[in-house]
Structure 1
Amino acid sequence: MPFTFKQFHIDDSHCGMSVSTDGVLLGAWANLVNAERVIDIGAGSGLLSLMAAQRTSTKTHITAIELDTLAAQDCLNNIAQSPWAEKIALVSSSIQDFCLAQQKIATSCRQYFDHIICNPPYFTNGPQTQHVARATARHTNQLSFSDLAQSICTLLAKDGVASCIIPVQSEVMFKQALSGSDLDITQRIEVCSVTKKPPTRLLLAIKHLASNQQYVTDTIDIRDKQGHYSAAMTVLCKDFYLKL
């Protein structure tokens, strides 16, 4: 269903996954300071690309990658109607094909990104909906964690950061996908839907391995026990949600 933010509007009528708290939280949390080249893997409706556009300077360029044709059309329309149409370029492709194309280019001419942002599909088994677009968005059929890790390896600039959000139960599999690569998790934020409840999601920051790498952990509650947005959630999302 359509969703209106403070500075832009999202129509996700043809997307497999609608606007979610996960996506908004990731888009608000990702550290985009000084990011001049950003790529949104699996852009869907364009939510993360538009949030990145709102949060970055006029010189930042954002590439939105979306495989599904109908979702890409929603993304294109949402970008065109936003204040930042000139900052965002949509590429209708799988991230695997995009990476292959980059690998065929001379190293000095390849695109490397200061920040990679992705709200990846994470279901690996179980029943899949008959709605093909929704199945693609929710299950790892088209983008496994291993493919995502390889894409990050290929596209991330030397000092760049990749930001993702995954379910807590997917952490072991995600770490296995990163093992053997030159990537490491440098920030891990446990996301609790309500204060004192067990975490359900993880916000992860990923970088290329470095000898002086620091590892940061923290927790964020989405709502307090009274059902209101927590202070931390309010600070993160006040520039986006209309009622904050």
Structure 2
Amino acid sequence: MGFTFKQFHVDDFGCGMPVSTDSVLLGSWAPLSQAKRILDIGAGSGLLSLMAAQRNHHAHIDAVELDETAANACKQNVAHSPWPARITVHQQSIQQFTEQALSQQRAAYDVILCNPPYFLSGPTAANNARANARHTLNLSFSELMHSCHALLSDNGLACLVLPCTEANNLIAAAAKVNLPLQLSVAVSSVSGKAANRQLLLFSQQAAPTGCLSQSFDILLRHGVYSDTMRALTEDFYLKL
């Protein structure tokens, strides 16, 4: 089972959240080329970490995952990838990881990636792993953005993906820890439909021109990938 990409395979069996279009979008969109240290918060099966390793041939990536089953899957996926020496998997909460990193004065990160738990309320999944992956049960937006602020370098970037319905809550939490939003990209599943997810880029430094807003569609009306989606994902998807 799992999902095979052009340069690696992800086995997501038992993970709270399987491989998703949201993570593929984030991993292909985030600006990673200049990063030396990358942090993947809530790494799950390791998809974002593996995408980062493929896109940046020099960076070291720390993948933090609380759930034991998902962390073990992440370790196996990393071990069988072309980049096991550049990805370190930490099976712990990001709160614990942040506390340890600050107390040990570890080097800061140039880019942080996260496809976070996002439901603030509503019914949770019966499966605990899926509930923790989808709902802010063990990681609130405030805690998440505190960790981003604490662990980023002075010029570091935090890149996240969220449903449009939850994006404003995360932006508000980021503002409280002085992480201004630099770029927001509204993504629609199909051309002509309202956007249903947002790619968000936060920085330790406010942009002189303020926040930029962009948008694109994943699919055109006749069911083929848009030029933007194709350009983002052609290095990963087998059929592109």
Shorter-chain TM-score range: over 0.9
The residue type equivalent to 1:62 in the other structure is I
Alignment identity in percent? 47
The equivalent of 1:16 in structure 2 is: 16
The offset of 1:174, in angstroms, is 1.1
Cα distance in structure 2, aligned partners of 1:133 and 1:181: 29
> Where in structure 2 are there 5+ consecutive unaligned residues?
none
The residue type equivalent to 2:45 in the other structure is S
Residues 71-130 of structure 1: per-residue CA shift (max 9 Å, x gap)? 00100000000000111000111000011112223xxx3230000000001011111111
The equivalent of 2:101 in structure 1 is: 102
The equivalent of 1:243 in structure 2 is: 239
The offset of 1:214, in angstroms, is 4.3
Cα distance in structure 2, aligned partners of 1:54 and 1:213: 32
The equivalent of 2:25 in structure 1 is: 25
| Structure 2 residue 172 is matched with structure 1 residue 181 | no
The residue type equivalent to 2:52 in the other structure is A
**1:225-244 equivalence runs, <5 A:** 225-244=221-240
**1:201-212 equivalence runs, <5 A:** 201-210=197-206, 212=208
| Structure 2 residue 99 is matched with structure 1 residue 125 | no
Cα distance in structure 1, aligned partners of 2:167 and 2:75: 32
The offset of 1:209, in angstroms, is 3.2
The equivalent of 1:50 in structure 2 is: 50
Residues 3-22 of structure 1: per-residue CA shift (max 9 Å, x gap)? 00000000000200000000
The residue type equivalent to 1:76 in the other structure is K
| Structure 2 residue 59 is matched with structure 1 residue 79 | no
CA RMSD, aligned part only?
1.1
Cα distance in structure 1, aligned partners of 2:133 and 2:239: 28
Contact kept, 8 Å, 2:182 with 2:207, in 1: the verdict is no
The equivalent of 1:111 in structure 2 is: 107
> Where in structure 1 are there 5+ consecutive unaligned residues?
none
The equivalent of 1:90 in structure 2 is: 89
Q: TM-score, normalised by structure 1?
A: 0.96
The equivalent of 1:66 in structure 2 is: 65
Residues 119-154 of structure 1: per-residue CA shift (max 9 Å, x gap)? 001011111111000000000001111111100011
What is the SS of the residue equivalent to 2:180? strand
**1:187-202 equivalence runs, <5 A:** 187-202=183-198
The offset of 1:69, in angstroms, is 0.3
Cα distance in structure 2, aligned partners of 1:116 and 1:221: 25
CA 1:7/1:211 → structure 2, altered by over 3 Å: closer, same or farther?
Answer: closer
When the two structures are aligned, how many residues end up with a matched partner? 240
Cα distance in structure 1, aligned partners of 2:112 and 2:5: 22
Q: TM-score, normalised by structure 2?
A: 0.97
Which of 163, 166, 176 lines up with 2:159 in the alignment? Answer: 163
Cα distance in structure 2, aligned partners of 1:127 and 1:22: 21
Residues 142-186 of structure 1: per-residue CA shift (max 9 Å, x gap)? 111111110001101100111000110112211221122121110
Which of 110, 131, 134 lines up with 2:130 in the alignment? Answer: 134
What is the SS of the residue equivalent to 2:161? strand
Runs of 4+ in 1 over 6 A off after TM superposition: none
Cα distance in structure 2, aligned partners of 1:104 and 1:192: 42
